[in-house]
Structure formats: C-alpha cells, structure tokens
Homo-oligomer: A and B are copies of this chain.
Amino acid sequence: MSKQEGISVKKNENFSEWFTQIIKKTELADLRYNVKGFLVFQPWSVLSMEKMYKHMEEVLQRKGHDPYWYPTVIPESNFKKESSHVKGFTPEVFWVTQAGNKELEEKLALRPTSETAMYQMFALWIRSHRDLPLKTYQRAQVFRHETKATRPFLRSREFHWIETHCAHKTEADAFKQVKEDMETTEEVLHKIFAIPFIFFERPYWDKFPGAVRTFAADALNPDGKVIQQPSTHMIKQNFSKAFDVKYIDQNEKEKYAHLTCYGPAISRIFASVVITHGDDNGLRFPWDIAPKQVVIVSIDPKAYKKAEVLKKQIEKFASVHIDYTDRRPGEKFHYWEMKGIPIRIDIGLKDLDKKQVTIFRRDLNKKDSVPEKDAITKIKEIAKEFTKNLIKQADKVFEGRIKEAKNITEVKKIIKEGGIAKCGFCSTDKEGTNCAEKIEKQVVAEVRGTKFDEKEKPKGNCVICKEKANHIVYIAKSY
C-alpha cells in the first residue's frame, strides 16, 4: 500500500468534498470505471457491506422471510401491466435489446425493483389463505438510469440492496407487516449500524409508484440534506389485480392479496454509516460491521512474537490484523485511524519493557496503556461499548438538528442552519399539495411527511395557508 494522505477538508465545513475524499482515500470505491454512474466497490467497503447483508438477512429470516434469487431481467410486458409503476420507473429503465447479434423478440428491463418479476410467481404459488402470509426477500442489484446527479453509494445507477416482498390476507395484515419492517429498520440500522433516522409516512404526492401508503426512513447528512433510507410500502390492489395474485379465503371466496414491499439498500445505507460516524480523521465503523475490528501495530521486530500471541487470543472473538508494513509508526497510526478500524493496539519498545500494550479506541479517539495481562479483558470491554458510544454520539447530533418552527420564517431559518424543521401543516393528503409546492418554492425544501408511530398532536396552524394544522410535518432539504 502506497503512502496515503489524510482528508484535507473538515466534514462540517465542506461535506461534499469530505465525502468524495474519504471514498477515494480510504479505498471504499474506485470512481474511475468507464460507465457513468457505476463504480467499483473495493474490499474495505465490500467487507463491511457483506456484514451488513448478514445482519439484515438474519433478522429478516428470524421474522419468517425466506430468501429467493430472481432473474435480473424482466420482460417489458410485465412492466406494462401496472400503469403507475410503468409511469414511475420507465424513464429510468436500462433495456436489454440484443443477444449475440440478434435483436430480442421482447426487450428486457434490468430490474429497477422486482415487483413485476415477483408478483407473477406469487400468483402461481398462492392458492389458499393457508399460503398467506407469504414473506420473501432477495439480495440483489438493481439498476436505475438516474437523471439526477449520481453520487457514489448515495445514488448510483447500479446499487446493492435487499428487497422484501410479502403477500397478506387483509389490509390490516399488510399494515402489521409495514410496522414490522419499521421495527426491523430500528433493530438493524439504529441498533447495529448506529444510524439515527426518523420513519415518516410520506405525503400523498411523494409515494412509491403504485403504493397506497409509503413509509420511509430519513437520515440526515452534515450538509443539512436528508437521505432516504429503507422504505416500506402498502401496495395498491391494482397490482394484485394486474398480476392476478389472489387466494381462496376461509369462506371459499376468491380475494385479492394485499402486498407490501420493503427495500433496504445496503450500498446506500453504507453511505450513511460513513457519513454518520466519519470524522475529520477518516472513517469510523460500528463494531459489528467493521471490515476488520482490531489491528496490531508492532513497530519493532522484537514485538512480533507478542503480537502473534495476542492475535491468536483476539481471533477467538474478533477479526484482527497485524500491520507488518515498513511504514513509520506515525504513518501506520494515521492510516488505521483513517480506515476506521475500531481498536488499534500498539506494541512499542517502551510497551515491551513495561509489559504493557497501548490501546487506541476510535469511538472515543482515546489512547490508554494497559498491562499485557489485562489486554483481552479491556478489548472485550471496548467491543461491548463501542457501538453504543457511536449511537449516543450520532443521536445527539441528529436530535440537536430537529427544531420546531411556528411559522415559515422559522422554517427557513432552521433549514438554512442545516436542520430539519418540525411544524404544523394543513394536510398531507391531496389537498395539501398546494402548500407543499409553496414550501418547495419558498424554502427550497420538502415536506418529508408525518412522523410515524408517535402521537404527535397537531396544534396551531399550517405554516403556509394558516388553516388549522391537521398534521405535524417535518421539512428538510434533500438531494
């Protein structure tokens, strides 16, 4: 590995440049691939994202979802079966039209999402109410020819995600699933990945193409822009009708199934991991998804044996690497800090003399000398606290940036300061469209929706039309 320079800008001063530098300098992805909007994910991100997949899939399987692998390609005719879907996605679809030297009889979409591939199979598999709920998911890449500016990890033309698709007997069951999806998000994104977010119900004008109700988690970047993380949707009956997804109920009556889908985009969530925890010195990873958890930097050959012994002990509960490169100590420290490894153990000559090791922890950026014999206990202790500390720090920043506004002037001020404004609003249904458009024009920010699962009583008036507020909404900038 050649000499690495550090990040030359401050995260909170020039976030966009910080993000680009951190991706390049810590080798998360190479942006020089010669197709626009596509990138080469490098080992340091892939190792972490594989762990993210593992955690998310474990939770999904525990909750009764079974894994499938569907084809990457979807025939055009499937796409056309549901009109809101075709309208929503067609501008972004990559089309396969040739194979070998021949034109295909029907062109094939590179899936932008898989409803139209899956529902036809659901129709074949579901016969009776006993087959429901059908809870499925797949790990997959999806493709969207984004017309907006692409950004590595945040918005690429190919991204790596999980999509769960379920069929239920009733609308109530579907709603229960949506709530379970939100709990899963809390369990995985917040508790394991340490990312703070709010789960919103999206307003009428901002729903997934083909959904009756859309719920989506928004995380917040230092530039004051929210980034949508997993969303979960109650799908319109149009869909089950278009694809004939029906079942015979207990009274021998034929009914259409109620469908839901939930899409955690791992490569995008990874962006939020980087953004939430990274600092001016580089990356920081939550313990369970760190590409490697411990590095031992043994500066002198005299320490190598000790390092190997320590490595063997650590291996039993964490992934560990010894840095045998011939870089100078300062360079090594700097390098591993930038790479965001949770724990670095230095064994210098002084440490050898004193029968101690020096432990640097990246959650608190703190260095301590620990007697050799206590090293393992100390590492285990740090491992246990690590993610909790990141959560605490991240939550504090996040919560500090959500502020109540009584009028549009206050909304503007909050947004200008990079925050999320919370205020009264007339309606998140069709009738509110006008006021929402005005907010977009006046504040250059969006109504992200109403906070889900919290009894926020609307009080006061809509910040735009001054009518009685029926909702408390959150307003923020987005990309």
Q: Copy number in this complex? A: 2
Cβ-defined partner of A41 (8 Å) among B30, B41, B69: B69
For chain A, the bracket of interface size reads 35 or more
Closest chain B residue to A66 by CB distance? B43
Q: Are A67 and B90 in contact (CB under 8 A)?
A: no
Instruction: Give residues of chain A (62-98) contacting chain B, Cβ–Cβ below 8 Å.
Output: 66-75, 78, 90-98
Contacts of A99 in B (CB 8 A): 92-95, 145
Contacts of A108 in B (CB 8 A): 35, 94
Name which of A32, A90, A100 has the most chain B CB atoms within 10 A of its CB.
A100
Nearest CB in chain B: distance from A65 CB, A? 9
Is there a chain B Cβ closer than 8 Å to A16's Cβ? no
Question: Given A40-B121, A127-B2, A33–B100 Cβ distance below 8 Å?
Answer: no
Q: Which of A41, A46, A50, A69 has the most CB of B within 10 A?
A: A69
A425 within 8 A of B: no
Asked whether, in the complex, the Cβ of A124 is within 8 Å of the Cβ of B2, the reply is: no
Docked pose: A241 CA to B393 CA in angstroms? 51
Give min CB distance, A88 to chain B, whole Å. 12
- A145 proximity list for chain B (CB < 8 A): 99-100
- B32, B95, B121, B141: the one contacting A30 at CB < 8 Å is B121
Distance in Å: Cβ of A141 to nearest Cβ of chain B: 6
**Does A120 interact with chain B (Cβ within 8 Å)?**
yes
Q: Is A110 an interface residue (CB 8 A)?
A: yes
A50: B residues at CB distance < 8 A:
67
The majority secondary structure among interface residues of chain A is: mixed
A335: interface (CB < 8 Å): no
Please state if A40 and B71 are interface contacts (CB–CB under 8 Å): yes
A91 vs B102: C-alpha distance when bound (angstroms) = 9
Is A256 in contact with chain B by the CB < 8 A criterion?
Answer: no
Could you tell me the distance in whole angstroms from the C-beta of A23 to the nearest C-beta in chain B? 14
Nearest Cβ on chain B to A43's Cβ, whole angstroms: 4
**Which chain B residues border A110 with CB–CB below 8 Å?**
72, 96, 110
Give A69's nearest chain B residue, CB to CB: B41
A124: chain B residues at CB < 8 Å are 30, 32
Asked if B121 and A71 sit within 8 Å, CB to CB, the answer is no
CB distance from A404 to the nearest CB of B (A): 41
Q: Closest residue to A41 on the B side, CB-wise? A: B69
- Which B residues touch A98, using CB under 8 A? 94-95, 97, 107
6 contacts between A and B (CB under 8 A): A2-B127, A32-B121, A32-B124, A38-B71, A40-B69, A96-B97
Known: A71-B158, A90-B100. 14 other contacts (CB 8 A): A30-B121, A30-B125, A34-B75, A35-B108, A40-B69, A42-B66, A73-B94, A92-B99, A92-B100, A93-B99, A93-B100, A94-B96, A95-B98, A96-B96
B-binding residues in A (CB < 8 A): 2, 30, 32-35, 38-43, 46-47, 49-50, 66-75, 78, 90-101, 107-108, 110, 117, 120-121, 124-125, 127, 141, 143, 145, 147, 158, 160
